[in-house]
Structure 1
Amino acid sequence: MNAMMSSAKNFMHGVTSLVVLILLWELVCRAGLVPPIILPAPSDVLMELFNEAGWYAAQAWYTLLITLAGFVCAVVGGVLIAVALVSSRFFERYFYPLIIAFNSIPKVALAPLFVIWLGTGSEPKILIAFMIAVFAVIIDTVHGLRSVPPDLIDLGRVLKGSPLSFFLKVKLPSALPSIVAGLKVALSLALVGTIVGEFVSSQKGLGYIIMSAQGSFDTVRVFASLSILALMGVVLYGVLAWVESKVIAGRRAQD
């Protein structure tokens, strides 16, 4: 109960700060202190969203689907790779350095290659979102699987269960808080990867709107797209934060 009240208070504080910021932004713009082409007024951005609501909804839906597809691929691939790293010394010794080296390559530099290989459809954008997000899943899953309390490991050895049963009933539940924390980071990165992909090659999506609006110096449309992206990111993060709270509550109930 206290945790829920604390979360509610933090949410209200955040909303209050956002409202104050928007009001100050509106006042600055209406006073003519900043040219509209540099910083449009929030009311103009809201009017743009209202007038083209259906179009923005369609573009946002496309971006959301690509983000979720890349995120799901990153979760599945990242968890499987992490399990292989923890379970196999051979895999860890020879493939972990390659994974780290590949992660150090800026994914923006790889995006044109993905377009050449996969075309201009959804596939390269999903792949970019996957490549940017998967490393966070791998790192946090490995950390979680290696942080299982020694007494639980000893208990599993005493009971002499199968490796698969021990993994599913002991290791995985113990690692869930770390895994979910990694998913929260990965989801934000997947959204970034989707926008990068839409910047490179796309005919729809919020990233496409931003790039096309840039060419015509339509900052109102850019800010409208950024507002939707911000809202999308907050909602997705909130969903995963809720999942994390349920996972932690379940762990405490088991303990």
Structure 2
Amino acid sequence: MSTYSEEHKVFLKKIKREKLIVCVSRLSIIIFFLAIWEILARFSLINTFLSSSPSKVLATTISLFKTGSLFNHIGITLYEVLISFIIASILGFVIAVILWSNRIISKIIEPYITVLNSLPKVALGPLIIIWVGASTNSIIFMALLISVFITIINIYNGFIATDKNYILLLKSFKASKWQIFMKAVLPSNLGTIINAFKINISMSLIGVIMGELLASKNGLGYLIMYGSQVFNINLVITSVVILGIISYLLYFIIDFIEKKLIATN
């Protein structure tokens, strides 16, 4: 028993050491990149009019914060992302369940979902603006179009890949379709569903930014478009950096939820 305990302690220390190495390495890469970027800018080895610099990005962020517009634009983008993410997640899950539960419906609908998923959504942007109007609704709708189909496909593929032995075992006990889903299909695909949501949140963010670039007077996508129009590269890069941070935080939250669910189940 004591031998096992010592081995377990060594294993835990190894895991902690690996996590520390990964975190330090990630942080070091970012710091190294920012330092090189700033040095190149300070010594005029790169054109800061075209590439900006970390110090100018920081100054632009502080300026936006002081004017009160920073959190306004972030809040609008986050609102649009979360609404489209929630709708796409619910729709994607429900439609995937329907497709799994009915083979005929699946055979009819699946080709259309594949085709719609492969369509270039950017090309539909002007049409969406004409149909829905240049508003928050059109941005959410565009993000929904980008994220919902890939969510359906990923979750549905997970459902149909469930171990057939589990399903046959439940069928031998006269289990209903709903019981098979709740006892075998859903528990087996919690990881798949969470992974689909990870992709969904990224696609929702991409869709929202695309929509804001086309039809918005607010949001981080608007700041990127406005900055490019007035040749303010500092504003463009600042907005992109903030988007990167938001994307990471949203992914981190879903990843944290996934780990908690796996630990619970």
| Both structures adopt the same fold (TM-score exceeding 0.5) | yes
Label 1:8 to 1:248 Cα distance change in 2 as closer, same or farther (>3 A). Answer: farther
Cα drift, residue 95 of structure 1: 1.1
- CA RMSD in angstroms, aligned pairs only: 1.6
Matched, 1:117 2:111: no
The one-letter code matched in structure 2 to 1:249 is: A
Matched, 1:35 2:47: yes
Q: Residue 16 of structure 1 is aligned with which of 28, 52, 59? A: 28
Q: Which runs of 5+ in 1 are unaligned?
A: none
Cα drift, residue 249 of structure 1: 2.4
Partner of 2:184: 170
Partner of 1:181: 195
Cα drift, residue 103 of structure 1: 1.5
The one-letter code matched in structure 1 to 2:77 is: T
| Cα distance between partner residues in 2 of 1:244 and 1:96 | 28
Q: Deviations over 1:126-178 (max 9, x none)?
A: 11111111122112211221222233212322333332233223211111111
Partner of 1:48: 60
Matched, 1:228 2:238: no
| Cα distance between partner residues in 2 of 1:141 and 1:250 | 21
Identity %: 31
The one-letter code matched in structure 1 to 2:81 is: T
- The SS at the match of 2:83 is helix
Q: Residue 83 of structure 2 is aligned with which of 69, 90, 96? A: 69
Matched, 1:95 2:103: no
Larger Rg, first or second structure (1 or 2):
2
Matched, 1:242 2:256: yes
1:145-164 paired onto structure 2 within 5 Å:
145-164=159-178
Tell me if structure 1 keeps the 8 A contact 2:88–2:151. Answer: yes
Tell me if structure 1 keeps the 8 A contact 2:101–2:177. Answer: no
Q: Deviations over 1:34-55 (max 9, x none)?
A: 1111111100110110121131
Q: Deviations over 1:32-80 (max 9, x none)?
A: 0111111111001101101211311110110011011111111111111
| Cα distance between partner residues in 1 of 2:17 and 2:153 | 32
| Cα distance between partner residues in 1 of 2:241 and 2:74 | 11
Structure 1: 4+ residue segments shifted above 4 A: 1-5
The one-letter code matched in structure 1 to 2:151 is: V
The one-letter code matched in structure 1 to 2:254 is: L
Q: Which runs of 5+ in 2 are unaligned?
A: 1-11
- The SS at the match of 1:38 is helix
Cα drift, residue 8 of structure 1: 4.6
What is the total number of aligned residue pairs between the two structures?
251
Q: Residue 208 of structure 1 is aligned with which of 213, 217, 222? A: 222
Partner of 2:74: 60
Tell me if structure 2 keeps the 8 A contact 1:75–1:137. Answer: yes
Label 1:8 to 1:240 Cα distance change in 2 as closer, same or farther (>3 A). Answer: farther
Tell me if structure 1 keeps the 8 A contact 2:212–2:219. Answer: yes
Partner of 2:7: none
Matched, 1:195 2:209: yes
Cα drift, residue 117 of structure 1: 1.2
Cα drift, residue 7 of structure 1: 4.2
Cα drift, residue 5 of structure 1: 5.5
| Cα distance between partner residues in 1 of 2:249 and 2:21 | 17
Cα drift, residue 193 of structure 1: 0.2
| Cα distance between partner residues in 1 of 2:19 and 2:154 | 24
The one-letter code matched in structure 1 to 2:154 is: D
Q: Deviations over 1:159-203 (max 9, x none)?
A: 333322332232111111111111111111110000000011001
Query: More relative contact order in 1 or in 2 (CA 8 Å, sep 6+)?
Result: 1
